[in-house]
Amino acid sequence: MVRYAKEHKQETRQRIIATAGRRLKRDGIDGSGVATLMKDAGLTKGTFHAHFASKDSLVDTAIADQLHTLHVNIVEQAEPGPAGLEQIVRWYLSAPHRDDLDDGCPNAALLDEIARSGDTTRQAYTDGVLVLIDGLAARMAPEDPLSARVKALGLLGLMAGTLQLSRALTDRQLSDDLLEQGLRNALALVDAELRP
């Protein structure tokens, strides 16, 4: 029997998590079986049990990882202050983001299923989304973090709902128009919150 270094096991686990995150966003939680998730990762279903106790455990971990990745790749990379907040809003409500389910935000892709999931999945989501919210809030009103957190949550709700609806529409022009209006609404909200 071949023995692998601890790094190999961690790399394999991370590959499963990242691959599962992309598949979950594309096909949903219920539409993604363990065999498919493992095949996507280039691994056997038997390997799954060396890393996760259940599909629910993988889903919880993948959702948390997707939110962490969104935070690191988008929120942390944006400029500080209002300019960064505008960058985030413009990226989020863009046609390329709408069209990229695999690497897009898990909010718009999975909210309906997360809401119907068990407590551990909803908690993994809540923990991850609070990190995003705090990143937005820090650019809104760093001197009043509690008030800014609620406002940032409202902003994320507006953006996620707009993106989710724009993805559901079959009329491309209507979808584009919705994104544009959502962008105007989000920027107006940001502007109103940042005005002294």
Is 164 a residue whose pLDDT tops 80?
A: yes
Is 162 a residue whose pLDDT tops 70?
A: yes
Beta strands in the chain (DSSP E): none
End-to-end CA separation in angstroms for the chain: 67
User: Using CA atoms, how far apart are residues 109 and 152, in angstroms rounded to an integer?
Assistant: 19
Q: Which fold has domain 53-194?
A: Tetracycline Repressor; domain 2 (1.10.357)
The candidate with the shortest Cα–Cα distance to 191, out of 85, 94, 74, 78, is: 85
Return the half-sphere exposure (C-beta side, CA atoms, 13 A cut-off) of residue 168: 10
Is 11 a residue whose pLDDT tops 70?
A: yes
- The per-residue b/e assignment along 16-38, b for 16 or more CB within 10 angstroms, e otherwise, is bbbbbbbbbbeeebeebeeeebb
Token representation of residue 126:
């809540």
pLDDT in tens, 13-28: 999 999 999 999 999 9
User: Using CA atoms, how far apart are residues 14 and 78, in angstroms rounded to an integer?
Assistant: 25
pLDDT at 122: 96
Is 133 a residue whose pLDDT tops 90?
A: yes
The candidate with the shortest Cα–Cα distance to 139, out of 196, 75, 60, 182, is: 75
Cβ(74)–Cβ(88) under 8 Å? yes
Whether the CA torsion 114, 182, 192, 83 is positive or negative: it is positive
User: Using CA atoms, how far apart are residues 150 and 184, in angstroms rounded to an integer?
Assistant: 20
Is 153 a residue whose pLDDT tops 90?
A: yes
**Angle of helix 119-140 versus helix 55-70 axis, rounded to 10:** 10
The candidate with the shortest Cα–Cα distance to 26, out of 128, 101, 112, is: 101
What does the mean pLDDT of the chain come to?
91
- The per-residue b/e assignment along 43-64, b for 16 or more CB within 10 angstroms, e otherwise, is beeeebeebbeeeeebbbbbbb
Return the top range by mean pLDDT from 5-9, 33-37, 51-55, 95-99.
95-99
pLDDT in tens, 41-100: 888 888 888 899 999 999 999 999 999 999 999 999 999 989 999 999 999 999 999 999
